[in-house]
Amino acid sequence: MIFPINNIRNDFPILHRKVNGKPLVYFDNGATTQKPVAVIKAMEEAVFEYNSNIHRGVHTLSNVCTEAFEKAREKVARFIGAAHTHEVIFTRGTTESINLVTSSFGEMFLNANDEIILTEMEHHSNIVPWQLLQKRKGVRLNIVPIRDDGTLDMETFDAFLCENTKLVTIAHISNVLGTVNPVNEIVEKAHQRGIPVLIDGAQAIQHLSVNVTDLDCDFYAFSGHKMYAPTGIGILYGKEKWLNRMEPYHGGGEMIKHVSFKGTTFNELPYKFEAGTPNYTAAIGLGAAIDYIESVGLVNIREYENMLFDYAISRMSEIENVTFYGTSAHRTSLISFLLNGIHPFDTGTLLDKMGIAVRTGHHCAQPLMKRLNIQGTVRASFAMYNTCEEVDALINGLVKVRQLFG
Q: Which of positions 269-308 make contact with ligand 7TS (CB under 6 A)?
A: none
What does the chain come to in residues? 406
Listed ranges 9-17, 88-96, 283-291, 305-313: which one lies at the site for ligand 7TS (CB under 6 A): 88-96
d(CA 28, CA 263): 48
Enclosing H/E stretch for 43: helix 37-49
Instruction: By CB under 6 A, tell whether 93 contacts ligand 7TS.
Output: yes
For ligand 7TS, the closer CB: 313 or 364: 364
Within a 13 Å sphere around the CA of 49, how many CA atoms are in the beta-carbon half?
11
d(CA 252, CA 26): 40
Instruction: By CB under 6 A, tell whether 125 contacts ligand 7TS.
Output: yes
For ligand 7TS, the closer CB: 28 or 218: 28
Enclosing H/E stretch for 219: strand 219-223
Listed ranges 42-50, 54-62, 66-74, 118-126: which one lies at the site for ligand 7TS (CB under 6 A): 118-126
Catalytic option among 65, 162, 217, 364:
364
**To 10 degrees, the CA torsion angle through 212, 125, 139, 136?**
-120
Report how many residues bind ligand 7TS under the rule CB under 6 A.
Answer: 17
For ligand 7TS, the closer CB: 166 or 359: 359
> Distance of CA 153 to CAs 120, 149, 242, 327, 361, Å?
10, 10, 29, 14, 25
Q: Which of positions 170-229 make contact with ligand 7TS (CB under 6 A)?
A: 171, 175, 200, 202-203, 223
With a CB cutoff of 8 Å and minimum separation 6, the contacts of 219 are 97, 101, 105, 196, 197, 198, 199, 236, 237, 238, 239, 242
The two beta strands, 219-223 and 165-171, are unpaired
d(CA 35, CA 346): 28
Instruction: By CB under 6 A, tell whether 363 contacts ligand 7TS.
Output: yes
Q: Is 364 a catalytic residue?
A: yes
Q: How far is the CB of 236 from ligand 7TS (least distance, A)?
A: 11
Listed ranges 87-95, 147-155, 264-272, 287-295: which one lies at the site for ligand 7TS (CB under 6 A): 87-95
Q: How far is the CB of 31 from ligand 7TS (least distance, A)?
A: 3
Listed ranges 44-52, 99-107, 123-131, 286-294: which one lies at the site for ligand 7TS (CB under 6 A): 123-131
Instruction: By CB under 6 A, tell whether 362 contacts ligand 7TS.
Output: no
Binding letters toward ligand 7TS, positions 20-59, x by CB under 6 A: ----------xx----------------------------
d(CA 363, CA 140): 25
**C-alpha of 274 from chain center:** 20
Q: What are phi and psi of 121, to 5 degrees?
A: -100, 15
d(CA 21, CA 358): 17
Instruction: By CB under 6 A, tell whether 72 contacts ligand 7TS.
Output: no
For ligand 7TS, the closer CB: 116 or 202: 202
Report the catalytic residues.
364
Binding site for ligand 7TS (CB under 6 A): 30-31, 93-95, 123, 125-126, 171, 175, 200, 202-203, 223, 359, 363-364
